[in-house]
Structure 1
Amino acid sequence: MSNDVLYKENMMIKEYKDDEQLLARHIPAAEAWKDGLNFFSQDQEYVQVGSWGYDKGTALKPHVHNHVPREVMVTQEVLYVRCGAIKARIFGLQDQPVAEFNASEGDVVILLRGGHGYDIIEDGTQVLEIKNGPYLGAEVDRRRI
């Protein structure tokens, strides 16, 4: 088990690992919402996460995504803490606790593998959760720890 800090183009991102397997990334709000286009995912990951920070008048070129066959074997999730705060609990590949950290307003959490759970630690907390699909139902897509 190792917890690393990744420095990527002047961004400090906390990574949580089980040996060499990356389980999760925590991108604090101060790092997540910088100027320009900032991606926090590696190309091979099933979920791609980035943020935009542009001024008025910036034009992003229109595009269409090509139909490309992909085989997705795991569900990966992204949390955006809109307001409030949560305690994220990260579990390793053998369901063992690996880390706990607080995520607050503006923070982004990327969950790549292993397990996870949350405690709401502020009233009125709102979190946007995004994950790859299709969703096949709780009995197929997840197992409780």
Structure 2
Amino acid sequence: MIQNITHNEKLLSVIIRANYEKDGIEFFTPDDFSQQLAYMKRPKNYIIPPHIHNAVQREVHFTQEVLYIKSGKVRVDFYDDDRNYLQSTLLEKGDVILLAYGGHGFEMIEESEMIEVKQGPYAGEMDKVRFEPINKEKLEIK
């Protein structure tokens, strides 16, 4: 299953659930995203020819990150660019999420392990603005 989180027609996040399966390759991100996310399922003996990637000048304006939930259960809270709470969802072992735009926060519902992939180089505290989370009584989990 694929879950897209959108707000005002803007794609904030893509979630690939652990049970998603499809033959071939499918990209879930538009070509202009600075972080590309795809799923591949190939049969035994399928060959991806050896290749190198060319040096291509790219300009990145926003950090986009991908999280793979290796174990546990994580609640992700979504916010718009003005820090207004939108909704929450639960991520479980094997789920993958691309965080493209808007704000987000997390709570570990269980002890959890995650693998994070995002563009570099890391800009330290210039990379983000922290703000107060939504009151737990107002959470809307979808």
TM-score range, shorter chain: 0.7 to 0.9
What is the 5 A alignment of 1:53-92? Answer: 53-92=41-80
Shift of 1:131: 0.6
Give the superposition deviation at 1:99: 1.2
1:13-92 superposed matches below 5 A:
13-31=2-20, 33-92=21-80
In structure 1, list runs of 5 or more residues that go unmatched: 1-11
Q: Aligned residues, how many?
A: 131
Partner SS for 2:19: helix
Aligned-residue CA RMSD in angstroms?
1.4
- CA shift digits 1:79-105 (9 cap, x unpaired): 111111100111101100111000111
Residue number in structure 2 paired with 1:9: none
Question: Does the 8 A contact of 1:16 with 1:98 survive in 2?
Answer: no
Query: Percent same amino acid among aligned pairs?
Result: 37
Q: What TM-score, normalized by structure 1, do the two folds share?
A: 0.83
SS of corresponding position for 1:45: coil
What runs of 5+ residues in structure 2 fail to find an aligned partner? 132-142
1:55 Cα shift? 3.4
After TM superposition, the score normalised by the length of structure 2 is: 0.85
Moved more, 96-105 or 48-57: 48-57
1:17-49 alpha-carbon deviations (Å, 9 max, x no partner)? 221222111221112x44332222111111011
3-state SS of the aligned residue for 2:104? strand
